[in-house]
C-alpha cells in the first residue's frame, strides 16, 4: 500500500487538522472530538444542520460546513460510523435554541448512532429532528444497510436544507424540505478500480484489468454485478437507465445533476460522463437546471463515479441556487 499518510492510526486526526489548517476561516475543531463546526461564535438564530459518518468520503462532510450548508460534521474512523457521543458533541457545539436536523446516510451503524445521540440531546431538552438519505438505486439491501444506501445525493440535502435553515426557517420546515429532496433524488455508481482502507492495507475488492463493478457502494460494497469494461457512454446509459426507471424524472421535468468522482478518477473523465448524461436527458425532454461535477462524496482512492438526479420544483431550485460558502462548495 502506497499512500500519502503518516500511519494508519493518524489518518482521520491529521486529515481534520489539515482541513482546518487550510480553511481556518471556515472550520474549527471541537476540542477533544472529531467534530468540525463553523469558525467563530456559535449562531444564535438558526436551525443547525449536522451530518457526518465514516471518514474516507472527503470532502464529505467537513468540507460542507459553512454558510448555507452544514453547521457541524462528525468524522468517524475510516468507513466506520461515528459514535453516539461524538454526534452528541456536534449537537451540543452547534445547537442554539432552534433545534438541530441530523442528516444521516442510510447505514445501519450511522442510523443507530445518530438516533442514540438524538436521544441524548432530547434528554437535555434540545429539539432534534432526523432525516435518512437512501438515494442509491443499485441495491435494496447491502453489506451495512437495511434498505437502500445513502450516497452522493446527500450533498443536495446539505445544500438545499442548509439554504432553508439559513433563511430562518423552523425545524419542521427545514426537515420538510430535506425530506422533499430525499423523495426526489436518486443515485447510482460504478467502480473501475477499488479503494484501499489504510488500516487494512490492501484493496477492498479485486477487479481484473478488464472488469468494472456496476452499482458499487461508497465503501466498496458489492454492487449489482461485474462486467467487462465498456465505453463511458454505455456505462452512463446503464446507470441512468436504472435511475430513470424509478419513474421520478419525466419529459418536461427540471432536474439537477451531480456527476460525482469516487476520488481517483480525473475530472476530464467525469466531464466526458457528464456529456452523455446531458445528451440522454435532453433526448428525454428532461431539462437540466444545474450540474455539479467533481469529487464530493468519495471513497478514498477508488476510481469510478456516480450519477445523481434531483427533480426540482420552484422551491428546491431557488434553494439550490442560493449562495453557499464552504471549503468544498462555494457559489455566489
57 catalytic per annotation: yes
C-alpha distances in Å from residue 134, one per residue of 107, 142, 247? 9, 12, 16
- Report, in Å, the least distance between residue 70 CB and a second copy: 17
Nearer to a second copy among residue 173 and residue 321 (C-beta): 321
Angular region, 285: left φ>0, alpha ψ -120 to 50, beta rest = left
CA distance linking residue 184 with residue 60, whole number of Å: 21
- Report, in Å, the least distance between residue 166 CB and a second copy: 14
CA distance linking residue 87 with residue 215, whole number of Å: 29
Do residues 137 and 246 lie in contact, with contact meaning Cβ atoms separated by under 8 Å? yes
- Report, in Å, the least distance between residue 145 CB and a second copy: 23
C-alpha distances in Å from residue 82, one per residue of 171, 223, 305, 308, 314? 23, 24, 25, 25, 35
Nearer to a second copy among residue 100 and residue 154 (C-beta): 154
Angular region, 201: left φ>0, alpha ψ -120 to 50, beta rest = left
Do residues 60 and 298 lie in contact, with contact meaning Cβ atoms separated by under 8 Å? yes
Taken in order 293, 65, 302, 133, is the CA torsion positive or negative?
Answer: negative
Nearer to a second copy among residue 270 and residue 319 (C-beta): 270
Do residues 176 and 156 lie in contact, with contact meaning Cβ atoms separated by under 8 Å? no
219 catalytic per annotation: yes
Binding site for a second copy (CB under 8 A): 2-7, 10-11, 14-19, 21-23, 55-56, 58-59, 63, 192-193, 209-210, 212, 229, 231-233, 235, 257, 259, 263-275, 277-278, 288, 291-293, 295, 298, 300-301, 303, 305, 323, 325, 330-332
CA distance linking residue 322 with residue 162, whole number of Å: 10
- Report, in Å, the least distance between residue 5 CB and a second copy: 5
Burial class (CB in 10 A: 0-12, 13-18, 19+), 46: buried
- Report, in Å, the least distance between residue 272 CB and a second copy: 5
- Residue 331: CB atoms within 10 A of its CB come to 14
Catalytic residue among 23, 57, 61, 158: 57
Q: Which residues are catalytic?
A: 57, 219
Amino acid at each position: 500500500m502506497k499512500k500519502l499518510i503518516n500511519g494508519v492510526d493518524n489518518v482521520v486526526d491529521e486529515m481534520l487538522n489539515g482541513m482546518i489548517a487550510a480553511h481556518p476561516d471556515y472550520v474549527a475543531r471541537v476540542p477533544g472530538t472529531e467534530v468540525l463546526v463553523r469558525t467563530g461564535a456559535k449562531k444564535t438564530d438558526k436551525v443547525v444542520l449536522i451530518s457526518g459518518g465514516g471518514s474516507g468520503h472527503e470532502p464529505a462532510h467537513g468540507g460542507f460546513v459553512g454558510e448555507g450548508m452544514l453547521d457541524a460534521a462528525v468524522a468517524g474512523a475510516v468507513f466506520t460510523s461515528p459514535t453516539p457521543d461524538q454526534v452528541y458533541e456536534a449537537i451540543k457545539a452547534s445547537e442554539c435554541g432552534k433545534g438541530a436536523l441530523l442528516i444521516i446516510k442510510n447505514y445501519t451503524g450511522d442510523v443507530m448512532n445518530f438516533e442514540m445521540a438524538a436521544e441524548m440531546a432530547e434528554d437535555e431538552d434540545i429539539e432534534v429532528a432526523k432525516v435518512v438519505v437512501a438515494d442509491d438505486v443499485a441495491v435494496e439491501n447491502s453489506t451495512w444497510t437495511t434498505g437502500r444506501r445513502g450516497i452522493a445525493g446527500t450533498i443536495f440535502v446539505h445544500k438545499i436544507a442548509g439554504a432553508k435553515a439559513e433563511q430562518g426557517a423552523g425545524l419542521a420546515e427545514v426537515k420538510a424540505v430535506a425530506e422533499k429532496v430525499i423523495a426526489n433524488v436518486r443515485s447510482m455508481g460504478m467502480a473501475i478500480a477499488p479503494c484501499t482502507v489504510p488500516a487494512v492495507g490492501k484493496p477492498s475488492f479485486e477487479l481484473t484489468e478488464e472488469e468494472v463493478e456496476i452499482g458499487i457502494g461508497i465503501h466498496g460494497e458489492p454492487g449489482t454485478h461485474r462486467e467487462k469494461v465498456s465505453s463511458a457512454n454505455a456505462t452512463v446509459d446503464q446507470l441512468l437507465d436504472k435511475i430513470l426507471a424509478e419513474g421520478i424524472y419525466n419529459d418536461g421535468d427540471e432536474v439537477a445533476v451531480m456527476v460525482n468522482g469516487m476520488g481517483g478518477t480525473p475530472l476530464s473523465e467525469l466531464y466526458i460522463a457528464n456529456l452523455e448524461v446531458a445528451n440522454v436527458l435532453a433526448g428525454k425532454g428532461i431539462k437540466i437546471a444545474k450540474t455539479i461535477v467533481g469529487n464530493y462524496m468519495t471513497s478514498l482512492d477508488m476510481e469510478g463515479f456516480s450519477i445523481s438526479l434531483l427533480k426540482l420544483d420552484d422551491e428546491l431550485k431557488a434553494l439550490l441556487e442560493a449562495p453557499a460558502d464552504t471549503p468544498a462548495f462555494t457559489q455566489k
